[in-house]
Chain A
Amino acid sequence: MTAVVARVIVTPKPAVNDPQGITVRQGLATLGFGEVTDVRVGKYIEVRLDVRNEKEARERVEAMCRQLLANHVIEDYSFDVDTDGRSSK
């Protein structure tokens, strides 16, 4: 088995109002970062799993995103998987 780290990013869909993002943008503007045109606040989820290979890891993480990690009504997700080459027990 291979130890894999999946890094999942969940963000509000473009059509969903993101008051957190708006508030952070306003805060950045107050600090002088006037060049910021938009901020979206999402979630970072790190999942460690033992699988046979990277393909299996991608399939499993995709299923996790669809079933639980993201709500398809309001959120988009993306992820990458990282095999560090070490074998787990």
Chain B
Amino acid sequence: MRFGVVVFPGTWSDRDCGWVIDQVLGAELRYLWHKDADLKGCDCVILPGGFAYGDYLRTGAIARFAPVMEKIIEFADQGGLVWGICNGFQILCEADLLPGALIRNSSLEFRCEWTHLVVERADLPFTSGCEEREVLRIPISHGEGSYFADPATLSRLEQNGQVVFRYSDVEGRVRPNANPNGSLHSIAGIVNERGNVLGMMPHPERCAEPELGGTDGLKLFRSVMHSAVEVLTV
């Protein structure tokens, strides 16, 4: 299983993702420079958090034109696993790989804190190690993470079961006061219809070791790892 971690100028979570893949998971790791139109044979490509190209104009707006993105779009179209975290989620929306957009937090504050997420899809390569309705504790760190989509898109997401994570309280109840950024339908993460492109605002790479206060994030990395093993043994 080979993970690729994309590095744009201004990306900041690339090394954190790399550490989890390489040191905690023990999987193969390649960093993918934004100017290289080459995914180096990776089985799962991660677009990590940060401020790609300074987030100028809009978050992710410039990053989506990077040479590496053309290859990522092709890879996603072929069913390859693409996982956008925080800024990566914003880039996937700008690139139309996922519907909707991430706008300024309703509080206007940059929020850096632990959140609880209820898992609504445990049948995906990214979540197969979780239980459905399981509550994960994963931190957020963003100023523009408020998920927005028009009503038709939202109802399509709900009907198709494309909402993967929702902000919740510790019991898994979706409540307005457990929503840290004003996301519509408390959406913290969505997947495309095919189930191979995931975008999420919370940072699983920041909670993959007990020293960091939690290991729930590791469940997602392990799920991806196991999904690849299953594919290989089929």
Contact = CB atoms under 8 A, between A and B. Distances in A.
A40 to B, nearest CB: 13
A60 B93 CA distance: 24
Interface in B67-109: 93-94, 99-101, 103-108
Interface stretch (A14-22, A27-35, A50-58): A14-22
A71 B106 contact: no
Contacts of B57: 68-69
Contacts of B101: 71, 73-74
A17 B108 contact: no
A73 B58 contact: no
Counting chain A residues whose Cβ lies within 8 A of the other chain, the interface size class is: 10 to 19
B150 A19 contact: no
A23 B108 CA distance: 9
Contact of B103 (A23, A68, A74): A74
The B interface, classified by DSSP as helix, strand, loop or mixed, is loop
Contacts of B139: none
Interface string A64-80: 00001101011000000
B145 interface: no
Given A68-B57, A68-B61, A69-B57, A74 B148 contact: yes
A20 B146 CA distance: 13
Contacts, number: 35
Contacts of A73: 93, 99-101, 148-150
Nearest to B153: A73
B73 to A, nearest CB: 15
A19 B144 CA distance: 11
A71 B58 contact: yes
B4 interface: no
B61 A20 contact: no
Contact of A16 (B93, B103, B105): B103
Contacts of A71: 58, 61, 94, 101
Interface in B40-72: 57-58, 61
Which of B99, B108, B148, B150 counts the most chain A CB atoms within 10 A? B148
Nearest to A72: B101
B18 interface: no
B150 A17 contact: no
Nearest to A69: B57
Contacts of A74: 101, 103, 148
Interface of B: 57-58, 61, 93-94, 99-101, 103-108, 146, 148-150, 182
What are the 6 tightest A-B residue pairs by CB atom distance, in nearest-first order?
A73-B101, A74-B101, A19-B108, A19-B106, A71-B101, A19-B104
Given A19-B108, A71-B94, A73-B100, 15 more contacts: A17-B103, A17-B106, A19-B105, A19-B106, A19-B107, A20-B104, A20-B108, A69-B57, A71-B58, A73-B101, A73-B148, A73-B149, A73-B150, A74-B103, A74-B148
